[in-house]
Amino acid sequence: MSIQIFERIFNQCVDRDEPFSFQILLDELNQLTPEKTEKLLVPYTSDEMTLIKIAKESLIRNFCMNPAIKESPKFNTCFLKKFFDFLNNDECSERILAQSLFLLHAGKTECHLLNKYEIELMFINYFEQFDSIEPDFNTNHPIFNDFLSIFKTLIQSLSFTDIIDKTIREIVSSKSNSDVFEYQSLKLIFFNSNFTCLYGFSGKDRIYVNIRPIVEFLKISLGEKEKMTIAKLNFIRLVLHETSHVVLRFKLNDLNLSSPFLDEHIKRGNVYKKVKECGFEAEKKLFKGHIDWKLSSYKKINLDYCLQVLDNILNGLPVDFDIERANVVVIPEENIQSFGFSISFKRQPLFLF
Ligand SMILES: [Zn+2]
């Protein structure tokens, strides 16, 4: 129903040559369904076709309810044309599924570290570039084969999946879905896109990894061995981060779930610990903090030590990561924004995506 209302308001705005307002849309949605004051649930158990349908309905509400959009709800209709066409397209494919999930999480972007101008540009970028997300393409760089085999090793490694299970156990209560998540059913989907700062996001039994920042990273002038080690450790961080989101959403049967918005689940007794970012909690368990591997590459990392850590992780051996010994950059918790996906938000280069 949200799609039809969006369509009517959008067409009226085009006819009148007026900007589109998410506030007007939200007011209409609230009038129609006053009982729905929260984000809409997107059941994890939905089949793919239903998932796309529900995700589209829900993502509209996510954008409308985003506090930053509420503050500045008007967008020129020309920036929303692709978004409008997307909502009205009934296609069901891996591509549309990936784009729907991206937009579902993009609508929840928390913007307190950004100024008004940056926020506006960021949302326009989402609306203009989401359709560049393309899962069906050939990655010809050999590193992607390495990543694929690392991924397979990780999801079969008990010491790796234990980190995620432990993180989730600390968040959800025994009232939540008692089914055990089957790590073997998890798929890794590489996608191409115009987003250079978006690392990845998660979906139903899938983690999505953007090849763009990886390809960009491989271009920097750094010794090959160092570059590969950093790329692999960052990939492991990303798999850990995104997989923990998959498992949390599976446990709470809601693909529209994001860690800072667990209030409804707390009320229902499904969650007993409110965390800022579940992916970050998992990262902390392995790396003692959120390591910015890309920034670390500008320093002189302790390559021998990092190689040994990489080796231990891939061989299922315990890792007691020593940040100082590794000589890596840790991002302080207060500088981490809460996203439904893994994105690196640096002030300057971000807005080129
Ligand atoms: Zn996350």
In DSSP notation, 64-101 reads HH-HHHHHS-EE-GGGGHHHHHHHT----SHHHHHHHH
**Measured in angstroms, how far is the CA atom of residue 307 from the centroid of ligand 1?**
25
pLDDT > 90 fraction of the chain, expressed in percent and rounded: 73
pLDDT higher than threshold 50 for residue 52: yes
Q: How far apart are CA 278 and CA 290, in angstroms?
A: 12
pLDDT at 38: 77
Tell me the CA–centroid distance for residue 345 and ligand 1, in Å. 13
- Over residues 29-46, the mean pLDDT reads 86
Residues 331 and 85: their CA atoms lie apart, in Å, by: 38
CA of 280 to the centre of ligand 1 (A): 6
| Amino acid 339: pLDDT | 56
Residue percentage of the chain with pLDDT more than 70: 90
In this predicted structure, which of 41-55, 108-122, 285-299 has the lowest mean pLDDT? 108-122
342 CA to centre of ligand 1 in angstroms? 5
Whether 41 has a pLDDT exceeding 60, the answer reads yes
Average pLDDT of span 242-270: 79
Lowest mean pLDDT among 17-26, 69-78, 167-176: 167-176
- pLDDT of residue 267 exceeding 50, the answer is yes
* Cα(13) to centroid(ligand 1), Å: 35
CA angle 169, 171, 175 (to 5 degrees): 75
18 alpha carbon to ligand 1 midpoint, in Å? 36
Spell out which residues have Cβ within 5 A of ligand 1, the ion: 279
- Distance of CA 77 from the midpoint of ligand 1 (Å): 30
**pTM, full prediction:** 0.91
The candidate with the shortest Cα–Cα distance to 98, out of 233, 226, 229, 192, is 192
What's the one-letter identity of residue 212? R
pLDDT at 17 over 50: yes
* DSSP secondary structure string for all residues of 201-221: EE-SSEEEEEHHHHHHHHTSS
| pLDDT given at position 137 | 75
Query: Do 46 and 54 contact (CB within 8 A), yes or no?
Result: yes
Name the token pair of 30: 């609230």
Least confident of 1-5, 86-90, 123-127, 335-339: 335-339
Distances (CA, A) of 190 to 121, 138, 341: 26, 9, 14
Distance 97 CA to ligand 1 centre (A): 19
How much is the pLDDT for 161? 97
Q: Ligand 1: distance of its center to the CA of 268 in Å?
A: 23
As to burial, measured by CB atoms within 10 angstroms (0-12 exposed, 13-18 middle, 19+ buried), residue 297 is: buried
Ligand 1 centroid to Cα of residue 279, in Å, is: 5
Asked if 48 contacts 98 with a C-beta cutoff of 8 angstroms, the reply is: no
- In the reported structure, the alpha carbon of residue 238 is separated from the centroid of ligand 1 by a whole-number distance in angstroms of 9
Ligand 1 centre distance from Cα of residue 119 (Å): 19
162-170 CB contacts, 8 Å cutoff, 24+ apart: 163/240, 163/282, 163/285, 163/286, 164/240, 164/243, 164/244, 164/247, 164/282, 165/247, 166/285, 167/244, 167/278, 167/281, 167/282, 167/285, 168/244, 168/247, 168/248, 168/251, 168/278, 170/273, 170/281
The CA 340 to ligand 1 mean position distance, Å, reads: 5
Whether the Cβ atoms of residue 129 and residue 217 lie closer than 8 Å to each other: no
Strands 198-202 and 187-191: unpaired
Is the pLDDT at 353 greater than 60, yes or no? no
Walk across the sheet containing 341-343 and list its strands: 187-191, 206-210, 198-202, 341-343
